[in-house]
Amino acid sequence: MLSYQITEYGKPLEALERATPVPEGDEVLLKITASGVCHSDLHLWEGYFDLGGGRKADITRLRDLPFTLGHEIVGEVEAVGPNVADVKPGDRRIAYPWIGCGDCAICARGDEHLCAKPAQLGVHVDGGYASHVTVPHSRYLYDYGDVSTELACTYACSGITAFGALNKVRELATGNQLLIVGAGGVGFAGLMIAQAMMDTEIVVADIDEAKLEAAKAAGAAHVINPTADGARKQVMAMTGGGAAAVVDFVGSGPSTQFGMSCLAANGEMVVVGLFGGSFDMSVAMFPLKNISLRGSITGSPAEMAELMALVKSGKVKPLPVAARGMGEAQQTLEDLQAGRIVGRVVLVP
């Protein structure tokens, strides 16, 4: 098999050839047909997360080198271990990458994505910038129906991340107004998925007018630029007194502050973006308005199943994706680093 691997953090990926693994026990070997490039791959490749204010979080201890990035993986089953009965060679599947230890209380209650001893594909164990990947169990594989392979792979990260956040405010937002802050990659996926999963009136906020126009064309009832004069007042008017739920796909100080200020009484805000920063808010507002603020990261295997059922039903409008050859993995990371990429890039072997 061929893999594009990190041999030294921040240095160009190296194309390395090695023997294709033979699946054992419950394992499934996928021949990769598409592998998305996520913004977090950039941090994994660099070896640190920038926490702002000159602080960096070292993330090099989470894996051994050489290492293969890529957590948005779609492929065709090539071989299965002796215990595998529910998939067979030739089946096309998307891999759920947020795999836990499978042994702890968190995994037992179905929240593998929150496990403290994770084995996530492309984060802790070798992932998708390769011709093949080993998935530890067929329960992490999902059918994706007639969706294109290039589009399908994005549901493993941006899709499930948006779904997991929206799912937390689904009840509150149904029959009410939902404010989506940030219409970039994941936020735009969120706009598509929200329309498919619940009956809600969606307001989209972004500081980029082109993104607001795209959001309007993609089904947002209202759009607002939070830097405009009286933006909060306008949202209050659009929503009849505030949004029942807010999902912040930016996660910066100003975006979170804006979102909180637009909540109706009894509302809930979910932060899913990782931009970073901080904001000031009077603590008394939490009880006075009976509101809450929480975070969300990716989603559970059960949520992945629900998302893929929605996708297969044809209710989720497709996102634009650009396909590149797998050999352009390094160039793609550099383009991401330089901010030259708009939308999702998917590598195809």
Buried b (16+ CB within 10 A) or exposed e, 12-50: ebeeeeeeeeebeebbbbbbbbbbbbbbbbbbbbbbebe
Binding of Zn ion by 42 (CB under 5 A): no
- What is the DSSP pairing of strand 263-271 with strand 201-205? unpaired
CB of 191 to Zn ion, least distance (A): 18
Q: Which of 123, 117, 79, 130 is nearest to 97 (CA)?
A: 123
Q: Which residue, 65 or 108, is less far from Zn ion as judged by CB?
A: 108
Using CB under 5 A, which of 115, 135, 186, 250 touches Zn ion? 115
At 215, give phi and psi (nearest 5°).
Answer: -65, -40
Q: How far is the CB of 122 from Zn ion (least distance, A)?
A: 8
Contact indicator for 220, 203 with CB cutoff of 8 Å: yes
Q: Which CB atom, from 158 or from 239, has the smaller least distance to Zn ion? A: 158
38 near Zn ion (CB under 5 A): yes
Residue 295 pairs in a beta bridge with 271
Among 22, 65, 101, 322, binds Zn ion (CB under 5 A): 101
Q: How far is the CB of 59 from Zn ion (least distance, A)?
A: 14
Note whether 321 binds Zn ion by CB under 5 A: no
CB 152 within 8 A of CB 308: no
* Closer residue to Zn ion (CB): 101 or 265: 101
Interactions with Zn ion, residue window 286-305 (CB under 5 A): none
Using CB atoms within 10 Å of the CB of residue 304, give its burial: 0 to 12 exposed, 13 to 18 middle, 19+ buried.
buried
> Would you say 100 or 259 has its CB closer to Zn ion?
100
List, in sequence order, every residue forming a beta bridge with 276; answer none if it has no partner.
252
Which residue's beta carbon is nearest to the bound Zn ion? 38
Least distance (Å) from Zn ion to the CB of residue 107?
3
Q: How many CB atoms lie within 10 A of CB 303?
A: 20
For residues 113 and 222, which CB has a smaller minimum distance to Zn ion in the complex? 113
Sole binder of Zn ion in the list 104, 236, 274, 341 (CB under 5 A): 104
Q: Does residue 100 bind Zn ion (CB under 5 A)? A: yes
Q: Which of 157, 197, 245, 260 binds Zn ion (CB under 5 A)?
A: 157
Q: 50-55: list long-range contacts, CB under 8 Å, 24+ apart.
A: 50/276, 51/276, 52/276, 52/277
Question: Which residues in this chain contact Zn ion in the complex, by CB under 5 A?
Answer: 38, 40, 100-101, 104, 107, 115, 157
